[in-house]
Structure formats: structure tokens, C-alpha cells
């Protein structure tokens, strides 16, 4: 049997995978875990320690991470490893859509999934919904490819990955029901794909023998991963509770306002949003069944993400998946470069990119001005003029040279500029830019500079006990999973108050005074940070859109050290 040769298509998929891995694993463990992440990581740590903690609704993450914690030890990197791996694996999904969408649209979709800011952000979130998203998507892809056992395995992992999978299934079910009822009135029209392949046929009937194999692997995955080889059977009840938690979200309000998922679309997803809408319109006009189904799915998922009372910004991901697919199909229609004048295309693309970059720099300049002043208004008028100039230039090119040159130059000039924008947003969402930016995808509050607190505590412990983490640490009235994760190697005691004659060695509290028998020295450090959205001015909003900067509200805690443990109290010189 001959080995298949490596083609350019294989190399491009490998490049998309490399981009996905780079964005998701670069500085993966650099940032401290937030309260949301630390709560899940602590559950995995307690399972790894042989304890029997109450598990949340994401047993797949807890048990898989517990295995790594048991073997390698608990670190920030390993706490985020499985989400990063799942987010990278999502790039494989378009490979199974080549015969249905066409090779070029499938390849474009792979790069879109690799670079998408929302997916990158969810891949950096310990305990987040990315395991459910990837598991459900790969379940569908494996089933379409005839891999029933792999489909059952992915389905089992998806069902163990939290309430998000039920939210995604609801959107898919509603979209399928809508297209089944109303789609019969729209006669389908066969449409050739960009690379000459025809649209795929409809779904084949399900055979019991194939379904039986998938069910066997799915139930086996539920039992093995859900109970961690019977070592943590509480994961099975947690799987059931994920469905209950999803239902509870329909009558429990979250603290995420409606504007956050609405703002995330234009702030992060201009590329899939613009070309996805264009692809949906083309699909309706051409009566392309796949495009219509994807458009309905995107619309249903977006509406659900907005009306769901327990909404999170991450729910928007379920709408982004079909939007990216629509955008990829639309861009597949603009690869007809054969016979075109390359110099004309290069000139139009350069013009469009140059004008877009100039417009962005003009908008960035407005952020340094008062929006009510005349210079700021002139800058905004100039931005409008740039947009009009792009449109006028493309009209003149279409009338003077050729309509195809204007179309291809305008589309790919916009794609290159928007790809750079998407990549910049992805680096911010991944937390690899300095200084750190304020993002909509990560749950608030985010953790402050707690690494400084740990460094100081370790130095005091090393000075007095010879090792780090050897002194006792008392936490008074501070409920923070991120703080407990930070001091996971210490002996931490949580109390609501201390008796006056108590003399603990180190104390963390939110009050600025301690009334104890011994003397203490303290330093205030930021424990958590939230963006001050409620007091943001129009200038603040514009600066956030351009630079992702927003005034921050900080919650400080004080690290108290008993005075006799300090260097100067022991007759040693202070560095």
C-alpha cells in the first residue's frame, strides 16, 4: 500500500494547526488563574490528592486535569492545558467538510478557527466551555466521515463538559427544526463550489448497527471519564447536574449585561461577521441549502445568546462557528485569479489596505482628544471620507479597468487588513500582550498581581524556615478561589475573625488594621480587578475599542507578616 504524498493542502492545514497551537499555548501559564478558573483547578487538585470534593458541572475538565496534576504536579500551565489542546483540535474539523464545502472554503475555515479571538480566549480559560464546543463539533464531523466509534467518544466527552453543550444542542435543534419546517418551501438548487466540487448530499439514514457502535463508545466514555475509572464517581452525578444547570439558567439572571455579547461581535469578529452576512445573502439568492442552514443556525444561536437570562459572552461562540463557515464559503467564491492581471489586483489591494490602515491610525489619533472638540470632529469626518474614498476608488477601478479587478482587489485588500485586526485581537484575548488589555471574553473579576504576594510570602518563609511554604497562613474574611490556588502548597486556614491573643505568622485580610497581641507589618496588594464599565465616557469607549484599555477598579488585600519574622527584627541587613 502506497503512502499518500504530502500535498500543499496538507502543508497549509499544518500551518493552520501551528498557528492555533502557537496562539493557545504561548504564555499559557504566565497569567494567574482567575476566581472562575481557580475554582475548577482546585477541584481537580483535590481529586488528584485523593480527596472526595463536591464536583461542579464540568467533570471532563476536572478529571482529565486531575490526572496531569497527579503525574506532573499542579501548575497554571497544566490547569489550562486541556482547554488549549481542545481549542487547537478544533482546527481539524474543516478537514471533514472538504467534500461538502469545497477544499478552498474548508481551508479558509481552518485558518479562521485558528485565529478567532473568541476561540483563542476560551482556549485560555481553565474550566471553560471549549471542551464542550470542540467535542460537539468533532462529534458531528466524525459522524459525517463514517467514524462512529470516534463520534461516540467525542460525544461522551462533550456531554461531560458542562452546561454549554446543552446550550449548543438547543441551538442546533431549533435551527434544524426551523429549516425542516420552512425549508421545504424553498427548492434546493445545486451549486458548484469554488474548486469545482458539488455540494454534498443530504444526510444518510441512520442504521442501528452504526448507532449501536457510537452509543457503546459514548457510554463507555461517560463511565470511564465521568467516574475517573471509578476513583471519582461523583463526576457521574455532576454530568446530570450540567443539564439541570443549563435549565436553571433560563430563570436565573447572570451579571453579564446584554451589551457585552452584542459589543463582542463588532469589537472582535468583523471579518466573520461581514463575510458571513454576505455568504448568507448569497446562499439565499442562490438557494444553496448548506448556506441557508448555516445562516439559520447562526441567527438562532445569536438570538439564544442574547435572550438567555444566564448568559455569558462565551455563549456567542455557538453563533461564530456557522458565521465562520459562511464567511469561508463566501471567500471561496473569490479565488478566481486565473487570467486576471496580477499587477492590477496588487495595485487595488495595496490601495485598499493603505486606506484602511490610514483610517485606523486616524481613529487611534482621536483617542488622545476630547471628542467634543473641533479637531476630534475633523478626524472623525476624515475617517468617513476614507471609507467613501475606498468605495469611490473601487467604483472607478470597476468602470475603468474591470469589475473583477475591483471585486477581487477590494475583497482581498479587506481580508488582509481584517486578518491583521483579528490576529491583534487574538493576542490580546490570549493575554500575551503587554500591558494586559481589558477583554470581554474572560469572566470578571480578573486576578491582580498576586504573584508579588506569593513571592514575598515565599521569601519570608525561606528566611525563617529554610523552605518556601513552611509558615502558617491565616486568611481572614477573604473568599477568593484564586488566592487559595495561589497558596495551594501552603497550610492555609480560613477564619472569619481572630481572637485578640492570637499570633499567626502570616495573615491575609481585607482590613487595614489588625488588633492582635503581636506587632505586624502589612502591605496592600491588588487581589482582583474589574473594568469600570459603568462610569466609562465616550472617550473611554473609543480608547477601549482601539487599544482595549479601560479604567480599572481594584480590590486590595493586605499581606501581614509578624514583625519578629522580618529581616531587621533578626539583626540582619535589609536588602
Q: Per residue in 433-468, pLDDT tens?
A: 878 889 999 888 888 878 888 898 999 988 888 888
Boundary (domain end) residue, out of 216, 238, 258: 258
Residue 304 within any structural domain of the chain: no
- Nearest Cα neighbor of 97 from 288, 295, 320, 329 is 329
pLDDT at 206: 61
Residue 552 covered by a domain: yes
Same-domain status, 246 and 155: yes
3-class secondary-structure state, position 336? coil
Average pLDDT over residues 327-349: 90
CA angle 20/26/28 to nearest 5° reads 110
Question: Is the predicted pLDDT of residue 486 greater than 70, yes or no?
Answer: yes
Domain carrying residue 402: 342-429
Model confidence band, residue 431 (pLDDT cutoffs 50, 70, 90): confident
User: Would you say residue 184 has pLDDT above 80?
Assistant: no
Residue 396 lies in a domain: yes
| Per-residue pLDDT tens digits for 369-423 | 888 889 999 999 999 999 999 999 999 998 888 888 999 999 999 999 999 999 9
Torsion of CA 402, 403, 409, 414, to 10 degrees: 160
Task: Look at residues 241, 258, 275 and tell me which one is the last residue of a structural domain.
Answer: 258
Same domain, 471 and 526: yes
Cβ neighbours of residue 483 under 8 Å, at least 6 residues apart? 450, 475, 508, 527, 557
- Rounded to an integer, the average pLDDT of 522-550 is 91
Residues 474 and 423 in one domain: no
* Cα separation, 174 vs 161, whole angstroms: 21
Residue 551, pLDDT score: 92
> Same structural domain for residues 414 and 450?
no
Same domain, 148 and 224: yes
pLDDT at 567 over 80: no
Candidate ranges 154-168, 239-253, 336-350, 430-444; pick with highest mean pLDDT: 154-168
Same domain, residue pair 489 and 371: no
Question: Is the confidence at residue 575, as pLDDT, over 70?
Answer: no
Total domains, the chain: 3
Instruction: Based on the fold, state whether residues 414 and 485 are members of the same structural domain.
Output: no
Kindly report which listed range (87-96, 227-236, 343-352) carries the lowest average pLDDT score: 227-236
CA dist 29 and 130 (Å) reads 17
Mean pLDDT of 233-258: 88
Domain endpoint, select from 258, 276, 300: 258
Q: What is the mean pLDDT of residues 554-569?
A: 85
| pLDDT, greater one: 91 or 478 | 91
Give the model's pLDDT for residue 338.
83
Residue 306 lies in a domain: no
d(CA 502, CA 496): 13
Could you tell me the pLDDT band of residue 191, with boundaries at 50, 70 and 90?
very low
Which three cell numbers mark 357?
Answer: 490602515
In a domain, 130, yes or no: yes
Q: Are residues 419 and 505 in the same domain?
A: no
Residues 404 and 478 in one domain: no
- Give just the sign of the alpha carbon dihedral 324, 326, 332, 333: negative
Q: What is the mean pLDDT of the segment spanning 169-176?
A: 94
101, pLDDT greater than 60 = yes
- Between 477 and 77, residue with greater pLDDT: 77
Minimum mean pLDDT range among 25-34, 156-165, 566-575? 566-575
Q: Which residue has the higher pLDDT, 557 or 199?
A: 557
Residue 459 lies in a domain: yes
Q: Which residues contact 412 (CB under 8 A, 6 or more apart)?
A: 334, 345, 349
Give the pLDDT score at 231.
87
**Is 243 a member of any domain?**
yes
C-alpha cell at 533: 464599565
3-state secondary structure of 524: strand
pTM score: 0.91
Residue 193's pLDDT band, with cuts at 50, 70 and 90, is very low
Are 419 and 467 in a shared domain?
A: no
Is residue 178 one of the residues assigned to a domain? yes
- Biggest CA–CA distance in the chain, Å, is 89
Same domain, 119 and 245: yes
Q: What is the mean pLDDT of the chain?
A: 89
Asked if residue 112 lies in contact with residue 93, where contact means CB atoms within 8 angstroms, the answer is no
Residues 392, 513, single domain; the answer is: no
Are the CB atoms for 492 and 475 separated by under 8 Å? yes
Q: Which three cell numbers stand for residue 466?
A: 529554610
Cα 145 off chain centre by: 27
Q: Which of 195-199, 396-400, 423-427 has the lowest mean pLDDT?
A: 195-199
pLDDT at 463: 87
Q: Residue 205 — pLDDT band, cuts 50, 70, 90?
A: low
pLDDT at 192 over 80: no
Amino acid at each position: 500500500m502506497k503512502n499518500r504524498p504530502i500535498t500543499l493542502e496538507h502543508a497549509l492545514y499544518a500551518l493552520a494547526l501551528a498557528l492555533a497551537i502557537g496562539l493557545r499555548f504561548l504564555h499559557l501559564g504566565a497569567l494567574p488563574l482567575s476566581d472562575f478558573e481557580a475554582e475548577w483547578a482546585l477541584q481537580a487538585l483535590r481529586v488528584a490528592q485523593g480527596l472526595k470534593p463536591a464536583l461542579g458541572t464540568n467533570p471532563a475538565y476536572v478529571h482529565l486535569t486531575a490526572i496531569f496534576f497527579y503525574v506532573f504536579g499542579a501548575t497554571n500551565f497544566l490547569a489550562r492545558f486541556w482547554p488549549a489542546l481542545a481549542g487547537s483540535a478544533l482546527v481539524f474539523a474543516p478537514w471533514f467538510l472538504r467534500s461538502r464545502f469545497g477544499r478552498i472554503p474548508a481551508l479558509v475555515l481552518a485558518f479562521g478557527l485558528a485565529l478567532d479571538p473568541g476561540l483563542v480566549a476560551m482556549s485560555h480559560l481553565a474550566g471553560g466551555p471549549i471542551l464542550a464546543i470542540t467535542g460537539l463539533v468533532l462529534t458531528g464531523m466524525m459522524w459525517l466521515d463514517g467514524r462512529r466509534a470516534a463520534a461516540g467518544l467525542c460525544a461522551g466527552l462533550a456531554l461531560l463538559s458542562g452546561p454549554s453543550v446543552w446550550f449548543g444542542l438547543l441551538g442546533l435543534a431549533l435551527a434544524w427544526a426551523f429549516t425542516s419546517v420552512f425549508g421545504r418551501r424553498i427548492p434546493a438548487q445545486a451549486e458548484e463550489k469554488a474548486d469545482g466540487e458539488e455540494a454534498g448530499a443530504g444526510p444518510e439514514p441512520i442504521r442501528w448497527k452504526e448507532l449501536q457502535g457510537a452509543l457503546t463508545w459514548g457510554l463507555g466514555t461517560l463511565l470511564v471519564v465521568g467516574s475517573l475509572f471509578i476513583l471519582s464517581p461523583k463526576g457521574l452525578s455532576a454530568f446530570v447536574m450540567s443539564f439541570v444547570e443549563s435549565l436553571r439558567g433560563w430563570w436565573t439572571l447572570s451579571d453579564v449585561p446584554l451589551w457585552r455579547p452584542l459589543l463582542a461581535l463588532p469589537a472582535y469578529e468583523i471579518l466573520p461577521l461581514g463575510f458571513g452576512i454576505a455568504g448568507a445573502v448569497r446562499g439565499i439568492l442562490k438557494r444553496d441549502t448548506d448556506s441557508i442552514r448555516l445562516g439559520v443556525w447562526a441567527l438562532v444561536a445569536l438570538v439564544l445568546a442574547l435572550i438567555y437570562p444566564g448568559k455569558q459572552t462565551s455563549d456567542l461562540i455557538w453563533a461564530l462557528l456557522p458565521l465562520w463557515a459562511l464567511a469561508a464559503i463566501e471567500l471561496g467564491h473569490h479565488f478566481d485569479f486565473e487570467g486576471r492581471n496580477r499587477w492590477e489586483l496588487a495595485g487595488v489591494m495595496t490601495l485598499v489596505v493603505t486606506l484602511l490602515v490610514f483610517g485606523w491610525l486616524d481613529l487611534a489619533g482621536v483617542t488622545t482628544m476630547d471628542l467634543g472638540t473641533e479637531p476630534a470632529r475633523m478626524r472623525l469626518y476624515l475617517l468617513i471620507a476614507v471609507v467613501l474614498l475606498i468605495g469611490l476608488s473601487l467604483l472607478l477601478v470597476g468602470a475603468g479597468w474591470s469589475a473583477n479587478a475591483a471585486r477581487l482587489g477590494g475583497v482581498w485588500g479587506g481580508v488582509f487588513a481584517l486578518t491583521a485586526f483579528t490576529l491583534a485581537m487574538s493576542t490580546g484575548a490570549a493575554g500575551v500582550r503587554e500591558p494586559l488589555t481589558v477583554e470581554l471574553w474572560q469572566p470578571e473579576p480578573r486576578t491582580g498581581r498576586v504573584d508579588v504576594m506569593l513571592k514575598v510570602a515565599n521569601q519570608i518563609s525561606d528566611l525563617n524556615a529554610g523552605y518556601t511554604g513552611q509558615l502558617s497562613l491565616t486568611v481572614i474574611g477573604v473568599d477568593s478561589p484564586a488566592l487559595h490556588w495561589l497558596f495551594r502548597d501552603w497550610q492555609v486556614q480560613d477564619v472569619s475573625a481572630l481572637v485578640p491573643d492570637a499570633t499567626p505568622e502570616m495573615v491575609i485580610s481585607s482590613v487595614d488594621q489588625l488588633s492582635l497581641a503581636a506587632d505586624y507589618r502589612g502591605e496592600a496588594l491588588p487581589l482582583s480587578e474589574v473594568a469600570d464599565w459603568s462610569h466609562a465616557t465616550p472617550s473611554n469607549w473609543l480608547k477601549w475599542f482601539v487599544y482595549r484599555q479601560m479604567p480599572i477598579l481594584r480590590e486590595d488585600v493586605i499581606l501581614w507578616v509578624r514583625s519578629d519574622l522580618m529581616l531587621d527584627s533578626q539583626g540582619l541587613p535589609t536588602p
